[in-house]
Amino acid sequence: MLFEPLIIRCLNVMKNFFSGESKASVNPIESEHRLGYEKDLENYFVLLESEAVEAVRLMFINASINSFIMTGSKRQPRCLMKLMEISTSFEGVLKFESDQVSLIICEEPLNCWSLSVATLTSIMIALPNVQDEEKNQLLRSVIQGFEYVRPMEKSLDVHKKIVNSKSAVDFAWGLVEMRHKWLDMDLQEIATVSKSSKETLQNLANRSEEILRKFTSRINGNAMESSINLPKNIIIANSMYKISNSLLLVYEESYHSASDTQVFERLSVIIADIFAACLTNIPRLILKKCSNSAIEEREKSIEEASYMLGETQGILEALQKREIPNLSPDQSIYIDEWRTFLKNTNHGNLGPTPSSENIVTASSGEVHLDVQELCASATKEALRTDEGDAESHVNGEVEELDDEEENNQA
């Protein structure tokens, strides 16, 4: 069982006391009449024990969940939260990539949140004339964000649409985080030799295009390989090619008079917008942790969910002030679905929504961003986890009583 209330022992003592007293005082002449009374009394204590166990179990589960929530709330991702404070819309989900960029690979893998953020972060580390502390602060924010984004993409991608992209991110982000490299390019060296942000973008665009064209020429221009079979470095290069060239288009339109620091700040807003959109899926991740684990793993999973609920309280409260796009659960986990939706709205400027409507609406129902709602769901699933053990305990007691009755009759 998840918890073992002490009241079980008390009830057993009481039950044994009455049972023992009855057996000691039974007159052979009265035994037939006493057996029925004793059976009724013992069944009553089994029922009483079951109800008491349920009440105490609920108390212990609530206390345990609240404890994990409190612990998590003391360790909220402050760097990520600070980054997300500069996001006021979901416009960055559209801005980072343009449909005007011509494709080199026709059958592309589906994009994912973490790949987009990893690529943008690589670009920002390579920007010249930006303080190292600014870049390190960005890295800390992204690392904290990936603590939620990566498990989210793994758990909620039930149709396995972004498996290859996620695998590519594992490789790409390891290089960025640990060595400040994008594939074979040293990002810090690019920042040192580049004279402007435009030059950095052009260098990364040229290198990624070179990788992609070498790949396409190697397959002799025949029918393009399926996106399922694309190598990791090609998926990574394709993301960099599209994003760097998209930003070059934006640079010509609105960044040309901006300083390198201002370009860094504008890209920070884009990443913040992407995180804000992606993290609207946190409630679904928490609920899935509570309900979809194997029974033997559910206790640990519910503890993790409760801790995450505490960790993300500040993020959830901030998202409650936003109007969330009306996407189904199958859509909201994919950045490409968000981009398609936002293209048909007011470019990501959805505006605030009243607090009474702070929900993620989905075709299959409504997932509340409210912390109390999520806590109640976690408690409910914890009770379900323990229910089987509690039922087994009560059934075992009934079987013991039946055995005792058979022995007495014998």
pLDDT at position 143 = 98
Number of other CB atoms surrounding residue 29 within 10 Å: 8
Alpha-carbon span 4 to 2, nearest angstrom:
7
CB hemisphere CA count around 194 (13 angstroms)? 24
Tokens of 200: 């950095």
Q: What is the pLDDT of residues 312-335, one digit of tens each?
A: 999 999 998 888 888 998 999 999
Tokens of 25: 């005082």
pLDDT at position 293 = 58
Q: Which helix (H) or strand (E) holds 386?
A: helix 371-409
pLDDT at position 157 = 95
pLDDT at position 363 = 31
Q: What's the pTM value of the predicted model, to 2 decimals? A: 0.78
Task: Identify the CA nearest to 272 among candidates 230, 322, 311.
Answer: 322
Phi first, then psi, for residue 135 (nearest 5°) are -70, -40
The residue length of the chain stands at: 410
Q: Which helix (H) or strand (E) holds 135?
A: helix 132-156
226 Cβ neighbours under 8 A, 6+ residues apart: 107
Q: Where are the alpha helices (DSSP H) in 187-322?
A: 187-193, 197-218, 232-250, 260-278, 282-291, 298-311, 313-319
pLDDT at position 393 = 44
CB hemisphere CA count around 155 (13 angstroms)? 21
- Kindly give the confidence (pLDDT) of every residue in the chain, 410 residues in length, as a single tens digit, with 9 standing for 90 and above: 433 344 444 434 334 443 444 444 445 555 555 555 555 555 555 555 566 666 666 677 777 888 889 999 999 999 999 999 999 999 999 999 999 999 998 888 889 999 999 999 999 999 999 999 999 999 999 999 999 999 999 999 999 999 999 999 999 999 999 999 999 999 999 999 999 999 999 999 999 999 999 998 887 655 555 666 899 999 999 999 999 999 999 988 887 789 999 999 999 999 999 999 999 999 999 988 887 556 667 778 888 989 999 999 999 999 988 888 889 989 999 999 999 999 988 655 554 443 333 333 333 334 445 566 666 666 666 666 555 444 444 344 434 445 554 554 44
3-state helix, strand, coil in the chain (%, to 5): 70, 5, 25
CA dihedral 110, 116, 122, 123 (to 10 degrees): 110
pLDDT at position 182 = 98
Phi first, then psi, for residue 185 (nearest 5°) are -100, 130
Q: Supply the DSSP string of 6-75, one letter for each residue.
A: THHHHHHHHHHHHHHHHHHH--TTTHHHHHHHHHHHHHHHHHHHHHHHHHHHHHHHHHHHHHHHHHHHTT
Alpha-carbon span 280 to 291, nearest angstrom:
19
- Identity of the amino acid at 206: N
pLDDT at position 335 = 97
